[in-house]
Amino acid sequence: MAYLREHLTFDQAKVTLESKGEGDSKDLYLKGICIQGGVKNANQRIYPVSEIGNAVTTLKDQINGGYSVLGEVDHPDDLKVNLDRVSHMITDMWMDGPNGFGKMKILPTPMGNLVKTMLQSGVKLGVSSRGAGEVNESTGEVNGFEIITVDVVAQPSAPGAYPTPIYEHFMNTRGGYSAIRAAHEVSKDAKAQQYLKEQMLRVIKGLQ
């Protein structure tokens, strides 16, 4: 089973915000497309609508059964949910046409408060589904797909800076997202850039 993450920007996910309650106790919800079906996405993968439908139904049944489906800020390196980075809880999922939609309640955790502040300040945050499945290498079609959760992520700036196969390798390798994020953080440090360049070249050589 491959570790699969699919990122959608704020606009691609058609994110909307919804508030419930009054005053300081008001709850903030984020709604939108969590994963697209029937089209080849930016990672060159295709999720058949039936696969999306089955995965959404499974997650919805978990939610209705009382299971807390928690999501994080940013991309973790595996399928495990890290409690110290939890920002929201998925309260509902459903199908609308070929796409899987979700509704997420922003929680009063440190990361949840960060997300809430950014959203209320007009920051456009994206979403990223996190799951597992089998990928047909020749067609890109995904089978046996299971959604583990949906995370809240920053608008992507890195993907266009790397060739797709290399970027995908980083993103699907443990620690890969951290390496890409580090590239942005050291962008003004010449010595750090040189070190990071050497490390990335080692990874790229390993792909050959």
Q: Over its length of 208 residues, how does the chain's per-residue pLDDT go in tens digits?
A: 888 988 888 888 999 999 887 766 789 999 999 999 999 888 889 999 999 999 999 999 999 999 999 999 987 778 889 999 999 999 999 999 999 999 999 999 999 999 999 988 888 888 999 999 999 989 999 999 999 999 998 865 433 433 444 444 545 554 555 555 555 555 556 666 677 667 667 766 665 5
Candidates 127, 204, 113; CA nearest to 166 is 204
Q: Are strands 99-106 and 27-35 parallel, antiparallel or unpaired?
A: antiparallel
pTM for this entry: 0.73
8 Å CB contact between 141 and 48: yes
CB atoms within 10 A of CB 50: 12
Where in the chain are the domains?
Answer: 2-155, 157-208
